[in-house]
Amino acid sequence: MPQHRYLLTEDRIPARWYNIAADLPTPMPPPLAPDGGPLQPDMMTPIFPMELILQEVSQERFIPIPDPVREMYALWRPTPLYRALNWERALGTDCRIFYKYEGVSPAGSHKPNTSVPQAYYNAQAGVKRLSTETGAGQWGSSLAMACQLYGLECKVYMVRVSYDAKPYRRLMMETWGGQCVASPSQETNAGRAILAEHPDSPGSLGIAISEAVEDAATREDTNYALGSVLNHVLLHQTVVGQEAVEQLRMAGAEPDVVIGCVGGGSNFAGISFPFLAEKFAGKDIQVIAAEPAACPSLTRGHYGYDFGDTAGMTPLLPMHTLGHSFVPPAIHSGGLRYHGMAPLVSHLVHTGLVEARAYSQVECFTEAVGFARAEGIIPAPEPSHAIRAVVEEVQRAKEEGKAKTILFNLCGHGNFDMAAYESHLTGQMVDLELPQDELDRAAAELSSMPAVG
Amino acid sequence: MPQHRYLLTEDRIPARWYNIAADLPTPMPPPLAPDGGPLQPDMMTPIFPMELILQEVSQERFIPIPDPVREMYALWRPTPLYRALNWERALGTDCRIFYKYEGVSPAGSHKPNTSVPQAYYNAQAGVKRLSTETGAGQWGSSLAMACQLYGLECKVYMVRVSYDAKPYRRLMMETWGGQCVASPSQETNAGRAILAEHPDSPGSLGIAISEAVEDAATREDTNYALGSVLNHVLLHQTVVGQEAVEQLRMAGAEPDVVIGCVGGGSNFAGISFPFLAEKFAGKDIQVIAAEPAACPSLTRGHYGYDFGDTAGMTPLLPMHTLGHSFVPPAIHSGGLRYHGMAPLVSHLVHTGLVEARAYSQVECFTEAVGFARAEGIIPAPEPSHAIRAVVEEVQRAKEEGKAKTILFNLCGHGNFDMAAYESHLTGQMVDLELPQDELDRAAAELSSMPAVG
């Protein structure tokens, strides 16, 4: 019987996170203080616990995962690796396609991989409450769950367009005891300022980050938690790729191509960093980051310093960015609507180690439906970009007469995104254009920012 | 590190289904033809393939699972068995609580365990199209998925109240290529007759079954598929309990109590029948079926012959029933809104081998939220009845000063039922009363039915 799934037992949950910073062929530029000066670790202490600040700047190759975190991981990890046998047949390809499936977590995505350790370290540090932003709600629900597991309060600022389109994600947060408000909100200076200028603002991750950071910075009992972008967040996600390395070994396979979708960069980092370690060691592996054409920071953005949020409260990060005041069109992939990109992922693209591609949402949903009809699992809109990239690679392999081994990260299920599928199945989905004037305006702001290197 | 999950590898997918009919201490009464005469197997051939008819009447203890079915099972099976360590701590109990989690299937419930073999046998028999009914949509979505996997068309009659309350389940069916209409519909004589009398009918499983059976009986290319009640459906679900037997052995545990919720009886049969085999062999195991107080066929119904559907098109089944024209109140557990009960489950309750209990929905959701906050997974409304029964058993064990081992079937997740959680979290959920006059009216019809035995 051909094997569909490669499972690991609980004792194979990775014992350490892989820190790619230790292995980069060229070092990454440092973040800067908001005023452009050097960033001191203690500027972060009002909103992050020390353990996470140390992870953010660590140069150690491996960081041990605390036993209590591994025990919580065991609620859903190790996750399965699938061979997409049915989909391969449907595509008529000789390529072998594998996918790591992170939708088995209670929140339905990869996000609990970092919400659990973040809540753990904050609880250990005596923090009582966490604030955060969320786009489509995957991150907010994951943090609400983790806070509940460790007895913390949780406040989530949810991007308005997703708050309206995805009420069930909000209810998920509330079921887990979290509090959720639409962003921009009237609860912060940052939110009120945006609403004063744009009462109908659909919101953006950049705006919601400003609100959540302000909440944490102005309350003694509260820290901030970020669901992507930062080094320590990407670090936590490397459990995904580490397990996949071991599972592919079980399958007797080595990947020629590794693919993940990118918004802030965390699920992509999770699947790809452990394979990039093998690439650094000489293996021939192509690594592809798939982003939405409606928010193309890697393929059409500027590489330089920019704020992580819209209000300019965060440090300046060296990254691909569309400008921190850019508000992306309201595509269904709420989790990919971010103006910037993780500095580590940006650096890897900038130095040519990772290739970036952009896809529009209609072509992505077309392939996602094909995947669902073959494999059963209905993908979230975000990983439909990875699925689109897989199909492109399958077509290229056919043209080249090659039979490649392709791995991608199916970072979440689409159970809360069925309205998007309705839009697609009824032919109402459109490819949202980038508003060029808005893009130009946001990009113009970047000219006053420090350059990289 | 304490172990949360017990996993089996793909080669441990059961190779055969367990047929409890072979082991029953007293034989089950036979079904009868609609006119009360003997039922001939060939009366079933217009709507079922021969392989399933043979399974329906088989007295063989084990029936081999075809390899192609096991291969499709591998898309999600074996499913994990969890030790509910966090929930045990939250409940403050010395009992060990295990749950088998069927929500990892693409459709999010145990239903694909039978939709896949049913679609397979029909495809093998040359059938082109399947019709069925669905309550909350778990069964309809599961059959749509299975039909897509085997290249069959799929038509689903979905109970009106669920069709309106759970649009995302319909979209799931459509994503998998199925067709879904609200029942009662204008597409069948049965549906039109109901609508003529009750234009605002919320529908029921009994009505939807009438529509789906009529569809299959009147179309040459179409067979009918049922998601519960019948022997062959319960048979297919025994993969659940067989895996759990092996997983509990891995955990070094033997259950004192086995619990499942019951609507038509299939998930309950799946988890309990393999343990009842051990009970028949002398082991001391208490088996509990948990049903909704708003549709209490086992605890308040009549045990006798009744139709499986509302229009009286099916054979007469020996079962606990509230009367085939009874329309249950619109509780959130759409999957449990059935007037009757599987003959096998009814027989086991009638002969004292299984204990039945009824719970109202508010108490069930209260415990489901407690479970979700401890274990992460948000349960579907249906298994919240099993969760409520577990809490009752935990309390009894405390009173008795015992530390029992309790196993229950978490037969699906609640991702599509967040509106029900909203109703509960905002204090708007109420316990729907049984309409006594409606109950009396339906029960009166039963007096003209043949008695059992």
B173: tokens are 């069916």
Q: How many helices (H) and strands (E) does chain B have?
A: 17, 15
Contact B359, B290 (CB under 8 A): yes
Higher per-residue pLDDT: A271 or A438: A271
The Cα A365–Cα A423 span in angstroms is: 10
**What residue ranges do the domains of chain A occupy?**
5-10+67-108+232-442
Q: Which residues of A touch B4 (CB under 8 A)?
A: 10, 71, 74-75
Q: Do B74 and A1 touch (CB under 8 A)?
A: yes
DSSP one-letter code for B413: B
Contact A423, A366 (CB under 8 A): no
Coil, strand or helix at B117:
helix
Interface residue B250 vs chain A (CB under 8 A): no
ipTM of model: 0.94
Q: Strands A302-307, A286-292: parallel, antiparallel or unpaired by DSSP?
A: unpaired
- CATH number belonging to the domain at B5-10+67-108+232-442, selected among 3.40.50.620, 3.40.50.1100, 3.30.450.40, 3.40.630.10: 3.40.50.1100
Interface subset of B 19-58, CB within 8 angstroms of A: none
CA angle, B240 then B243 then B244, to 5°:
85
Q: Strands B5-6, B81-83: parallel, antiparallel or unpaired by DSSP?
A: antiparallel
Task: For B63, list phi and psi in degrees, rounded to 5.
Answer: -125, 125
Contact B100, B407 (CB under 8 A): yes
DSSP one-letter code for A414: -
Which pLDDT tens digit goes with each residue over B69-93? 999 999 999 999 999 999 999 999 9
Q: How many CB atoms lie within 10 A of CB B260?
A: 33
Residue A1 confidence (pLDDT) = 75
Q: Where would I find the H helices in B251-288?
A: 266-280
Coil, strand or helix at B404:
coil
Tell which residue, B436, B423, B418, has the closest CA to residue B380.
B418
B439 pLDDT tier (thresholds 50, 70, 90): confident
Q: How many CB atoms lie within 10 A of CB B159?
A: 32
Q: Do A171 and B419 touch (CB under 8 A)?
A: yes
Q: Where would I find the H helices in B179-322?
A: 189-197, 205-217, 231-250, 266-280, 297-300
Residues contacting residue B406 through CB under 8 Å, at least 6 positions apart: B95, B96, B97, B98, B255, B256, B257, B259, B390, B393, B394
- A2 → closest Cβ in B71, B416, B418: B71
Question: How much is the pTM?
Answer: 0.95
Which pLDDT tens digit goes with each residue over B376-434? 999 999 999 999 999 999 999 999 999 999 999 999 999 999 999 999 999 999 998 88
Residue A179 to chain B, least CA–CA distance (Å): 12
Q: A259: phi > 0 → left, psi -120 to 50 → alpha, else beta; which?
A: beta
Which pLDDT tens digit goes with each residue over B164-222? 988 899 999 999 999 999 999 999 999 999 999 999 998 988 899 999 999 999 999 99
Interface subset of A 397-416, CB within 8 angstroms of B: 415-416
B211: tokens are 């529509």
Count the alpha carbons within 13 Å of B127 in the hemisphere toward its beta carbon.
30
Q: Do B376 and A145 touch (CB under 8 A)?
A: yes
DSSP one-letter code for B282: T
DSSP one-letter code for B356: E
Which pLDDT tens digit goes with each residue over B280-330? 999 999 999 999 999 999 999 999 999 999 888 899 999 999 999 898 888
The Cα A85–Cα B75 span in angstroms is: 10
Tell which residue, A438, A391, A409, has the closest CA to residue A274.
A409
Which pLDDT tens digit goes with each residue over A53-95? 999 999 999 999 999 999 999 999 999 999 999 999 999 999 9
Between chain A and chain B, the number of residue pairs with CB atoms below 8 A apart is 128
Contact B404, B443 (CB under 8 A): no
Residue B19 confidence (pLDDT) = 98
The DSSP result for A87-112, as a single string, is: HHHHHT-SSEEEEEE-TTSTTSBSTH
